[in-house]
Structure 1
């Protein structure tokens, strides 16, 4: 998986107010195949520095994630975190992938399946610039 090709769709634009800290939230449902998981949701929260992620281009970036194979949601989460850190360099960034587990299979009919359908699976990774001393803002509905 070539990170440079993947990052081509992650376009940026100048931050209109780089002296202020504010929270930007972008999300979407990438059409990726995550083994044993369904209906993934990608949520990116960031405090921008000099650059912002271009919103319409972000939808294309998410769509492009389906061109690669992802062994699990951890791989997808960390790749998106790396892409954003390389292209945007935000003051603070958090990437979350949420999905639901599919029903597990058991070859022995006397044993319960090892997974329960619909059980949530979440992976959250974050990073910040070393000298940024701000506090990551909470999004609406979080406490």
Structure 2
């Protein structure tokens, strides 16, 4: 699946109040390819102009399940890049993990990636977020 097709599954709407810094958390599951392990994905972001609908995030992850990912890091990096391009959050974190309950996965494999807009700072809010 090419990058534009992948990103076409992401739908955003206007942020109801761009003046506020607030945290949005969405989670779902990603099949790492046909017959491959299941990955749990959590994104946390502080919106700027757009917010991502939970339904769109679920459809996006389902579409990504049709891709044969070589490793968890590759899938997590693609999610971060896609969300960064389409949602354009002030700050975003992608947490992708496979757990020991899945016999086809490496026990306890977790990847956490973050990005933020260069001029955005809110250390008080980020300090209050739960640890990874």
Taking structure 1 as the reference length, what is the TM-score of the superposition?
0.80
Cα drift, residue 31 of structure 1: 2.0
Superposed CA RMSD in Å reads: 2.3
Relative to its length, the structure with more helix (as a share) is 2
Which structure 1 segments of 5+ residues have no match? 105-116
Deviations 1:74-133 (A, max 9, x none): 0000000000011010000000101036669xxxxxxxxxxxx76200000000000001
Q: Indicate if the aligned counterparts of 2:48 and 2:88 stay in contact, CA closer than 8 A.
A: yes
Q: Is the 8 A contact 1:23 1:137 kept in 2?
A: no
Equivalence for 1:78: 77
User: Structure 2: which 5+ residue stretches go unaligned?
Assistant: none
Count of residues in Structure 1 that have an aligned counterpart in Structure 2:
128
Alpha-carbon distance change, 50 to 137 in structure 1, aligned in 2, over 3 angstroms: farther
CA distance in structure 2 between the partners assigned to 1:38 and 1:62 by the alignment: 14
Q: d(CA) in 1 for partners of 2:34 and 2:79?
A: 15
With normalisation by structure 2, the TM-score equals: 0.86
